Structure 1
Amino acid sequence: MLLHSLSGPVSSQAVADAIFSAIRNGELTEGAHLPSVRGLAADVGVSPGTVALAYRMLRERGVIRTSHGKRAQVSARPPVPRASLTMQLPDGVRDLTAMEPDPELLPDVGAVLTPDTYRPTLYRESNVAAELRAQLAVDFERDGIRGELTVTNGALDFMERLLKARLRPGEVVLVEDPMWTSTLSLLRTLGLEIVGVAIDDEGMRPDALRETLAKRHASALLITPRAQNPSGSALSAQRAAALRDVIAAYPELLVIEDDHASLIAGAAFHSLTAGREHWAVVRSMGKALGPDLRVAVAASDPGSAGAVQGRQLIGPGWVSHFVQRVVAALLASPEARNQIADAAEIYAQRRRALLAALADRGIEARGASGFSIMVPVPDESAVVANLALRGWGVRGGEGFRMSERPFVRVCTATLQPAESVLFADALAEVLRARAGHRE
């Protein structure tokens, strides 16, 4: 299967590519067992560590599945996730797992509804309702973003349609490490290869991106400019400029910015898309106005807009213009805009309160914007389980990370400052107990 395609110095990437090619051309089918690590290493003439790393790379892409003591198997293609949208927590556990806005901080939709909010929309209407175009064009323009607008049912809907139109299975997409699990699931479902790039509080690191681009031919870069999930990182002006310099040498790279929390992120917007030929900035309204509105607006180059809108025409056609007019009315309302601004400040206060409480107890954590912070821990599953026993639900980082060290994610959107102290005490107790156990 593999030997005929491997020659010369063989790397883990070469082994992974050979296995992927065998799956794609039908030599290996769903459920087929791969050779053992030691067996394949002996056949190819490499170390078991080289094959083990190749298997890990394929597992992270969703191409194969592994379990302890058993041979790796080819996954179903595409690997569509079936997990629940929320973690199941015991009764009485305070839920800090969900990346959801505080319902109490959402603007009043009913206050902007008028008799003419609904009016008949026929098949030949444009993708973007005129009222929403007028509102969002101004917001994008203010941030220096000038492109064709497209409305979809959320940010993931836009990204799926664009990536499916522009990329083929097996092509490489660069993402932040760690990265939002739903985005990773989307990329795996599309059969794309995910390559993580290290980040810090200012977002993706230029040195790591430069090194990755030098080693791998990437087709797309998917980045979160602020309110990154799970780290809470936000691009600074200096960091964005440095990243633009790195990608300037790769003009064909498609750059997608998922600005999912734009209105309430608590950080300024800095883009990498200036001067790019292939690009998109997508902004979801869910965090600020309510998830059930299901509206995201993207600005992009005309080709990307055409690709997404064309795929919409053979599916849902368009996003309800009634819902678009509701969103536009909220964005045009001074009262709603004030509520959104107040909410952004409250979210920032809650995030800072938890970071301060953890710092007071000597616990390292990070989160510069948005709803989440991440806390490095020695053992994710043990910390999650022991916090649940103490009445706190958080999420382990395994589903988010590639090379990042273990951590737990804490969502602060509904966490009151007084609760931050209680949670920090509980986490400090868990970490002390784990440290004592190791000793």
Structure 2
Amino acid sequence: MPEAPKPTLDVTQTRIPEGVIDLGVGHPSLELLPLEELRQAAQHRLSQGDPSFLQYGAELGDARFRAELARFLGAHYGFAVAPETLFVTAGVSQALDLICTTFTRPGQVVLVEEPTYFLSLGIFQGHHLQVVPIPTDEQGLDVEALEAALRQQRAALLYTIPTFQNPTGTTLSQKRRERLVELSQQHGFLIVADEVYQLLGYQAAPPPSMARYLDTGLVLSLGSFSKILAPGLRLGWIQAAPRLLQKLTQNGMVVSGGGLNPFTSSIVRSALELGWQERYLQKLRHTYRGRLEVLLEALSQNGLRPRYRPEGGYFVWLELDPAINSQALLERALQTGVRFQPGHRFSSQGRLAHALRLCFAYYEPPELVEGVHRLARALQGYPGEAAGA
């Protein structure tokens, strides 16, 4: 039988035009989503004869789900995870919005990495926070630059993606993690660690989750099933000291509606209990490892060198010749049939115009190779065709 065509994906309300390879998509491929595993998980949960997950839930989230999630995380994190340190959310974006609502006031400072996940900036702007960028390098957040910034202003919180960062793919070193925690204690700001890629390492294991430092009372670690199971579940968690979680449960939305996602979390609980999540995670690691290697090799063969070599996550970051504007390049690239995310979107200051982000999660290897070939053709004629160091 002929191979079925790849389904068309609606990305932030914009369909991928036919014939375009969109390396800007930060999603798993539709064929990779675990439809059968989740069908079986739903069937298992619905066959138990217990309708309690159809009721309003406890504010922290279903206790049995949190216990199973704690067991799963503890096995991967390498340290014990207590269920009472987990708060169920409808994904990381909602978690971040809820944290801003609870722990910040308009006009306060939020420190972010430069570059950072571009959609987080809209959440901070929606809360009328003053966004202050902190530079990054191959070891992640520059803690010396952070220390200098803290001497100039008081911050309510710092938002970091410490492991396989979006967009650069870098990982915060263990030494810097420890220094970051020390600075938070000295200056009294909260660390909001977006750790959605923590379990998606393809080489050596990354440093332990920032949840290791919950006992400081200043760390909130955010996780999500969007990257390790399915984005449409809209299921995630906040891991923090119980006193911080108690403040979250007092939010009016939570008090009114009760715990978040009791139905979805009950289905994922079955996936955890029966080992399907674990097996699927191993499948993702194997698949993404291969796709990352293919993308890196294709870039090398076309004279393009990533700024950093990621060992996990979804993304590769290119910094081109400073004379190249990646937004203008994107218009040219679409004519050759490829799309990417231009670098300025990841800067809170509108900088990084010469950079771009590529994602290897959505496409099969042949399409990744072809996408890079098309990108290389789009670069022809621009000054400094190869990516910078």
TM-score by length of structure 2 reads 0.83
Contact 2:59 2:249 in 1 (8 A): no
Task: Evaluate the alpha carbon distance shift between residue 125 and residue 248 of structure 1 in structure 2; reply closer, same or farther with a 3 A threshold.
Answer: closer
Inter-partner Cα distance in structure 1 for 2:22 and 2:50: 37
1:297 is aligned, of 216, 222, 237, to 237
Deviation for aligned residue 1:436: 8.0
> Which position in structure 1 is the counterpart of 2:301?
360
In 1, are the aligned partners of 2:117 and 2:346 still within 8 Å (CA)? Answer: yes
Residue 130 (structure 1) aligned with residue 63 (structure 2): yes
Structure 2 counterpart of 1:176: 113
The 2-side partners of 1:117 and 1:165 are apart by 37
For 2:382, what is the secondary structure of its paired residue? helix
Choose the corresponding residue for 1:260, options 187, 191, 196.
196
AA matched with 1:241:
E
Is 1:388 the counterpart of 2:334? The answer is yes
Over the aligned positions, Cα root-mean-square deviation in angstroms equals 2.5
Deviation of residue 430 (structure 1)?
2.4
2:12 matched residue in structure 1: 85
| Mapped pair 1:270 → 2:213 | no
Instruction: Give CA-to-partner distance per residue, 1:246-275, whole Å, 9 cap, x none.
Output: 44422x211111112344354525344524
Paired residues in the alignment total 353
Partner of 2:52: 120
Question: What's the CA shift string for 1:220-242, capped at 9, x where partnerless?
Answer: 01111223222222223333234
User: What are the superposed Cα offsets for residues 396-433 of structure 1, whole Å, 9 maximum, x if unpaired?
Assistant: 12221146532111111023223333223222232231
Contact 2:25 2:362 in 1 (8 A): no
SS at match of 1:91: coil
> Residues 372-401 of structure 1: CA distance to partner in whole angstroms, max 9, x if unpaired?
212123211222112111111212122211
Structure 1 stretch displaced more, 115-124 or 255-264: 115-124
CA distance change for structure 1 residues 180 and 430 in 2, over 3 Å: closer, same or farther? same
2:145 alignment partner in structure 1: 208
In the TM superposition, what is the alpha-carbon distance from 1:187 to its structure 2 partner? Answer: 0.3
Does the Cα contact within 8 Å between 1:93 and 1:391 map onto a contact in 2? Answer: yes
Summarize deviations over 1:81-117 as a string: whole Å, max 9, x none: xxx8254543321222221112333332012222127
Amino acid at match of 2:140: G
RCO comparison, higher one (Cα < 8 Å, 6+): 2
**Corresponding residue to 2:248 among 287, 308, 315:** 308
Shift of 1:282: 1.4
Contact between 1:162 and 1:304, CA under 8 Å: does it hold in 2? no
Larger radius of gyration: 1
Q: Which residue of 1 aligns with 2:288?
A: 347
Q: Which structure 2 residues correspond to residues 68-79 of structure 1 after superposition, within 5 A?
A: none
Q: Quote the residue 1:154 is aligned against.
A: 91
The answer for the alignment partner of 1:331 in structure 2 is 272
1:262/1:351 CA distance change after superposition, 3 Å: same
Could you tell me which residue of structure 2 aligns to residue 40 of structure 1?
none
Matched, 1:415 2:342: no
Aligned to 1:427: 375
| Cα distance in 2, alignment partners of residues 190 and 292 from structure 1 | 25
Q: 1:28-63 CA distances to partner (integer Å, 9 max, x unpaired)?
A: xxxxxxxxxxxxxxxxxxxxxxxxxxxxxxxxxxxx
Q: Is the 8 A contact 2:190 2:218 kept in 1?
A: yes
Matched, 1:109 2:49: no
Structure 1 unaligned residues grouped into runs of 5+: 1-83
Q: Report if the CA contact (8 A) 1:97-1:393 is conserved.
A: yes
User: In the alignment, is residue 282 of structure 1 matched against residue 217 of structure 2?
Assistant: no
Give the match for residue 7 of structure 2: none
> Residue 433 of structure 1 aligns to a residue in which SS?
coil
Partner of 2:24: 97
Note the alpha carbon deviations across 1:287-319, whole angstroms, 9 max, x for none: 121111111111112232112222143443222
* Separation (CA, whole Å) in 2 of partners of 1:296 and 1:242: 27
Distance of 1:393 and 1:159 partners within structure 2: 28
1:218 matched residue in structure 2: 155
In the alignment, the residues of structure 1 paired with residue 374 and residue 260 of structure 2 have an alpha-carbon distance, to the nearest angstrom, of 45
SS of residue paired to 1:186: helix
Counterparts of 1:118 and 1:179, CA distance in 2: 43
Following the alignment from structure 1 to structure 2, what is the Cα–Cα distance between the partners of residues 231 and 338?
Answer: 28
1:113-154 Cα offsets, whole Å, 9 max, x none, are: 221276134446453223311222124445345562111111
CA shift for structure 1 position 217: 1.2
So what's the TM-score if we normalise by structure 1? 0.74
The amino acid of 2:226's aligned partner reads G
The separation in 2 between residues aligned to 1:352 and 1:339, in whole angstroms, is 20
Q: Does 232-241 or 410-419 show the bigger shift?
A: 232-241
**2:326 and 2:342 in contact (8 A); partners too:** yes
* Unpaired runs of at least 5, structure 2: 1-10
Tell me which amino acid in the other structure corresponds to 2:340.
V
Asked whether the 8 Å contact 2:21–2:367 carries over to 1, the reply is no
CA distance in 2, matches of 1:254, 1:427: 40
2:131 to 194, 215, 218: 194
